[in-house]
A and B are shown apart, each in its own frame.
Chain A
Amino acid sequence: MNTRNHYDVAIIGAGMSGLAAGIRLAHFGKKVCIFERHNATGGLNSFYSIGGRKFDVGLHALTNFVRPGVKGTPLTKLLRQLRIDRAEFALCEQKQSRVAFGPNGETSLRFTNDFAVFENEVATQFPKEIDGFRALVAAVKTYDDVSLEVAPISARGVVRTHIKDALLEDMLFCPVMYYGSAQEHDMEFGQFVIMFKALFLEGFARPFDGVRVILRVLLEKYRQAGGERRMKCGVQKILAREGRATALMLDTGEEITATHIISSIGAPETERLIGQAPEVAALEAGRLSFVETISILKCQPAALGWGSDTIVFFNDSAHFDYACPTNALDTRSGVICLPNNFDYGDNRQLPEGIFRVTCLARYDQWATLGEESYQAQKIRCFEEVQRSARRFIPTVSDATLTEATITTDMFTPRTITKFTGHIGGAIYGAPVKHRQGRTPLENVYLCGTDQGFLGIIGAMLSGISMANFHILQKNS
């Protein structure tokens, strides 16, 4: 079977999870090829250039950061499994982040990569809740969140057994949901645990040059291990017979065969490639999508008084509504990211200021517009998003911000679908996850977002776990 067009494993999508799976398999001698429709790697965590300037998409911060010497956490596992020296990622830690709630952020919980800071903030501002909070943290620490066999339970339900104050409950859910939940209003407790550890018990860091550093390391490992990759070459169809995939039809019309197929493109998206009979109920796609505004500033944010916060999760309303908005946009809550405010060391700072804001958005309100109305809506929403977010960081006048801004850009749910192929612009994929990565076809497995390990470290661990579980462990 080992002809030129036959692979031991074909991987669909060159995002973080597909690359990680590819590295594992190629390292252990499998003939692997990654097929990527886009011309860039990274999928949901990528970057693009406009006018010689590189913009990161996806990654605000690498979560799951732990310092050297801390073992047994996702970051350490990932580095070991991919044979990456942690110096290669050259991670720089956040300064501080906050969860800010109230019309002008009146209640604010600060956190850093030192969990004691967050615990102390909760103790000071919610003294009645601190025992419950500690009990919740203990429950999170002992929960087996990487098990491939879990019964789903409601995270809201578990959290409420420990936390009675609805404001604190919402303040804990806001960051955790914004950084990974594909489910509206609530999430599965295992997913909550993964994110709570990733954000609060571990922490945030970033390479000086952003996400492309991580991609560069992954690509180099994959190349060294002998993995092949075909860019601008999507998979159009998975051909199957008797419950097994027999071949992949590429966008070029060419057919290739593979013993195993790993798909990182999402569960409903993979199902679409398999082309289920129409009477079979399609998997539900996710409804949570986002817009993000990016402003490039000619000064460091610190010069505007924005020098302390790395990430701010905000919400202005009595309740935190993590749901698909009824309109194009919901600016009541969101996330601010100031990538300049990582600690890059003495005398080292990003050459320009960057101010990013993410808010919830509704896909169909963007997808159906004609080009002119789409552009007009983008301009209007840009303004709305920034105005809302600026309430939660020190006041800067419109004139000052305009004067400091060199250029801006914005991505919308439509951009996400265009570049990632995710149905409905669903960044975090479908609400129901498939822990074992199984699909209707016995030799096709999912990895990435819809397998259910979250964040970019989670994405890579997902690729690793699925490659181990379905292929390497079985010695097939």
Chain B
Amino acid sequence: MTKDECKQVVLDIIADIAPDEDLSNVKPEVRLRDQLQLDSMDFLDIVMELRKRHSIEVPEADYQHLASLDSCAEYLTPKFIALAAKG
């Protein structure tokens, strides 16, 4: 899993939970909340979908790492790699 693939995973989830958002121009370095209308309920769903679809656990204390696509990639990519290694 590359960082770009990881960003796509997050974007795919957002596309499903917020189909009314336009995701064609999301800037990876900008906080998601600042460019999309996402509230705490939506962030809970990003976490829940990561668990449901990819068995990735994000503890509440780490929610801050999901702020932007870049920070998501930094935080999640190692988790995906570790999970793949466990196979």
Interface residue ranges, A against B (CB under 8 Å):
28-29, 68-69, 71-72, 76-77, 79-81, 83, 85, 464, 468, 472-473
Contacts and interface: CB of A to CB of B under 8 A. Distances in A.
21 contacts: A28-B48, A28-B52, A29-B52, A71-B20, A72-B37, A72-B39, A76-B20, A77-B39, A77-B41, A79-B20, A80-B41, A80-B45, A81-B45, A83-B16, A83-B17, A464-B41, A468-B41, A468-B44, A472-B44, A472-B48, A473-B60
A434 B39 CA distance: 23
B19 interface: yes
B41 A68 contact: no
A69 B41 CA distance: 19
Interface in B32-48: 37, 39, 41-42, 44-45, 48
A68 B20 contact: yes
A462 B42 CA distance: 16
A29 B41 CA distance: 18
Interface of B: 16-20, 37, 39, 41-42, 44-45, 48, 51-52, 60
A85 B37 contact: no
Contacts of A80: 17-18, 20, 41-42, 45
A28 B52 CA distance: 7
Contacts, number: 32
Contacts of B41: 77, 80-81, 464, 468
Contacts of B17: 80, 83
A468 B39 CA distance: 13
Nearest to A71: B37
Contacts of A81: 41, 45
A468 B20 CA distance: 22
A76 B42 CA distance: 11
A147 to B, nearest CB: 12
A28 B41 CA distance: 14
8 closest A-B pairs (Cβ-Cβ)? A71-B37, A28-B48, A72-B37, A80-B18, A80-B17, A468-B44, A81-B41, A28-B52
A79 B41 CA distance: 12
B18 A473 contact: no
Given A28-B52, A68-B20, A80-B18, 5 more contacts: A69-B20, A79-B20, A83-B16, A464-B41, A468-B41
A28 B17 CA distance: 13
Nearest to A465: B41
Contacts of A29: 52
B72 to A, nearest CB: 19
A464 B41 CA distance: 10
A464 B40 CA distance: 13
